[in-house]
Amino acid sequence: MREGFTQSDIARKLHISRQAVSQLAQSIPHKVEAALYDASRLNGVEPRIVDSARGILLGWSKEFQTDTIIMVNRRIGLRVWYQHNLGRCKICPDKKQCQSLLLEHANEYGISLTRAERALDPSKLSGIIFSKVLGPDDHRIQTVPDIAYR
């Protein structure tokens, strides 16, 4: 449904009734929300904003004292992102792998990046992605921060 398929399209593709798809579709947001809250609890993240339709929870990491994004979807599973300074952090020792993951997840969540942004060092790229996930109206972050995949 996230990819624009109608319930009828999904029913045909899965060889089930449209009513079955409708019932399943109604339960998905609750299951996604439960998964996001479970992940936040397990990672010591205080939830602030939950968007179960997009599969995103924005919160505060008590352990790392930083903003955190928890994302879940069918293809990538569950991911926890912490805002931090990669220059002082050992979470992402392989910059090429980190950049590849950042670009993959940005694409997965429909975050558009310019060619110049895609070529940035992972520490700068991650800050741009973090700010785009939060949106332009979120003023909790004064400067563009860095994030890492954990």
pLDDT of 78-87, one tens digit each? 888 877 555 5
For residue 126, report the phi and psi dihedrals to the nearest 5 degrees. -65, -35
Predicted confidence at residue 3, as pLDDT, reads: 76
Q: Where in 19-135 does DSSP place strands (E)?
A: 45-51, 56-61, 66-73, 77-83
Q: What are the pLDDT digits (tens) for 127-145?
A: 787 778 766 554 443 223 3
Helix (H) or strand (E) holding 41: helix 18-42
Task: Classify residue 134: in a domain, yes or no.
Answer: yes
| pLDDT the model gives residue 71 | 87
6-45 per-position pLDDT tens digit:
999 999 999 999 999 999 989 988 999 999 999 999 999 9
User: Does pTM surpass 0.85?
Assistant: no
Question: What is the DSSP code (8-state) at residue 113?
Answer: -
Domain range for 109 is 32-149
Which is more confident, 94 or 112? 112
Answer whether residue 20 is part of any domain: no
With respect to residue 138, please indicate whether it lies within any of the assigned structural domains.
yes
What is the rounded CA–CA span in Å between residue 15 and residue 2?
19
> Which is nearest to 36 in space by CA: 91, 3, 80, 82?
80
Residue at 41 is within a domain: yes
48 inside domain: yes
Structural domain includes residue 124:
yes
Q: How many domains does the chain have?
A: 1
Q: What is the pLDDT at residue 1?
A: 78
